[in-house]
Amino acid sequence: MPERVHILGICGTFMGGVALLARELGFKVTGSDANVYPPMSTMLADAGIDVMQGYQPQNLEPAPDVVIVGNALSRGNPEVEALLNRGIPYISGPQWLKENLLSYRWVIAVSGTHGKTTTSSMLLGILESVGLTPGYLIGGVPKDFGRSARLGSSDYFIVEADEYDSAFFDKRSKFVHYLPKTLVIGNLEFDHADIFDDLEAIQRQFHHLVRCVPGNGQIIHGTDDSILEVLDRGLWTPAIQMFESEESAQGAWTCQNLSPAYERLRLTTPDGESAELNWDLIGRHNALNALAAVAAAKHVGVGLVDACAALSDFAGVTRRMDVIGVVDDVTVYDDFAHHPTAIATTLDGLRRKLQSGRIHAVIELRSNTMKDGHHADALIPSTRKADAVYWFKAGGQPWLMTHSTGGEQHSFHNDLQALVEDVRQSVIPRDHVVIMSNGGFGGFHQQLLKSLRK
């Protein structure tokens, strides 16, 4: 077994998780990244993993036994070029995961455009609650566990199954390496415009994933037309639908909302068994995430009532409507939403819950798909449940201003300090500020809280 593993892009959520797993398996692990910041940098340090700031050829001295290359790395990167020139063995993260860990586990893969991290974390909580102690690799940090990955001590392994490509030398989606026995496909929309030309290209990768699920496994899926089209291309595994419904549906998983903001739910199994779930999460999207997690848990033997009991105590995931501060009765949330559907469902859930107060949505246009205008028609409408919307990095996206209705509720910013000041001057007591970004947002979160405290 190789003794030293070096990871390029180690502070990404996926690669950081791979690093934690490699360390648990007994490897000496080092890594490098251009952006080293919490929470991943803290988790890696706590695990005794040395992280080097920046990509430099000297990071490969002495030469590691193998280098795991993250998909954010490409040709021209100094460390990648040194790796190739010196003939050091290398592999993608998903391939390494398959060869070293997943090939001998019951893999439960959670896929889809939205909700993967939350659904995976819910499933982890359910299995943990009944003593199954699963391993996992999740693209976020479940609050009850404090880290994004662990080996676990049972046969089960939960993995967030991303459709993004594996590495610069392997353009297959990550999830084709995972070989799941239980597969969740929650939803399917166009995303990742930097590597996919259209929805059909993504559907092709999901079809490849479906081909990998054994006949004695199970596929649990939503009812989006885009998912059904994938399954129509070929299906060799028992498949069960899940959807929101006022009534149970024979042969399908259903969820019924019993409260304004989805805090009370009735979940029903394909054979008609029902149970209520009362919890702190809100929104239709989280209700469907819960349904998927309960259904996947059922496939590995966890009963409906036990699963609902576990979710009633679910603490959530960092950066998913995470309350990061309350200043003078102004509540500030950190949220990962970076797609029109995620933005819309998040704001709708909060609007349903609030008795009073305005919603301010602060959105960083960071993902390639949003920046390139692929969601131009959907972005402005996705914010209709907010009272004020602040778009950051809008200057390079004239299409966004073109699609705006022009009302005072929309403003466009390119200067972070000006954005902080605009939000600070706009809020009043009982207002809610939802900060939406899939990155660090230049430290905006803490800058805003500091400004509000003044």
How far apart are alpha carbons 403 and 242 in whole angstroms? 34
Burial level of 306, CB count in 10 A (0-12/13-18/19+)?
middle
* Phi-psi group of 190: left, alpha or beta (phi > 0 → left; psi -120 to 50 → alpha; rest → beta): beta
Is 375 a residue whose pLDDT tops 80? no
Domain 322-453, what fold?
Answer: Protein-Tyrosine Phosphatase; Chain A (3.90.190)
Is 427 a residue whose pLDDT tops 60? yes
φ, ψ of residue 257 in degrees (nearest 5): -80, 130
Nearest alpha-carbon partner for 117 in 347, 359, 314: 314
Is 434 a residue whose pLDDT tops 70? yes
Across the range 187-198, mean pLDDT stands at 88
End-to-end CA distance of the chain: 56
Degrees, nearest 5: CA angle 97-103-106: 105
> Side-chain half-sphere of 89: how many Cα atoms within 13 Å?
8
Is 403 a residue whose pLDDT tops 60? no
Indicate the CATH number for domain 4-93: 3.40.50.720
What pLDDT score was predicted for residue 11?
A: 92
Across the range 254-261, mean pLDDT stands at 95
Q: Mean pLDDT lowest for which of 107-121, 146-160, 257-271, 429-443?
A: 429-443
Flag whether the pTM goes above 0.85. yes
Domain edges within the chain: 4-93, 101-311, 322-453
> By the 8 A CB rule, do 22 and 84 touch?
no
Is 357 a residue whose pLDDT tops 50? yes
Exposure string over 28-46, b if 16+ CB within 10 A, otherwise e = bbbbbbeebeebbbebbee
Tell me which DSSP letter residue 195 carries: T
pLDDT tens for each residue of 217-237: 999 999 999 999 999 999 999
Helix-then-strand count for the chain, H and E: 15, 23
Cα Rg of the chain, angstroms: 22
How far apart are alpha carbons 369 and 140 in whole angstroms? 21
Measured CA to CA in angstroms, residue 399 lies from 331, 403, 419 at distances of 31, 6, 20
Across the range 19-47, mean pLDDT stands at 90
Alpha helical stretches, state H, 164-221: 199-211
Query: Between residues 84 and 1, which one has the greater pLDDT?
Result: 84
pLDDT range class, residue 396, cuts 50, 70, 90: low
pLDDT range class, residue 409, cuts 50, 70, 90: confident
pLDDT range class, residue 406, cuts 50, 70, 90: very low
Is 209 a residue whose pLDDT tops 50? yes
CATH superfamily of 101-311: Mur-like, catalytic domain (3.40.1190.10)
Helix axes 304-311, 284-299, angle to 10 degrees: 140
The DSSP bridge partners found for residue 277 are 265
Amino acid at site 226:
S
Across the range 10-33, mean pLDDT stands at 95
Is 332 a residue whose pLDDT tops 60? yes
Is 399 a residue whose pLDDT tops 80? no
The full 3-state SS of 40-105, as one line of letters, equals HHHHHHHCCCEEEECCCHHHHCCCCCEEEECCCCCCCCHHHHHHHHHCCCEEEHHHHHHHHCHHHC
- Listing DSSP states for 267-282 in one string gives EE-TTS-EEEEE-S--
How far apart are alpha carbons 29 and 26 in whole angstroms? 9
pLDDT tens for each residue of 126-151: 999 999 999 999 988 888 898 899 99
pLDDT tens for each residue of 268-303: 999 999 999 999 999 999 999 999 999 999 999 999
pLDDT tens for each residue of 89-127: 999 999 999 999 999 999 999 999 999 999 999 999 999
Across the range 368-375, mean pLDDT stands at 60
What pLDDT score was predicted for residue 407?
A: 47
What pLDDT score was predicted for residue 401?
A: 54
> By the 8 A CB rule, do 248 and 339 touch?
no
What pLDDT score was predicted for residue 120?
A: 97
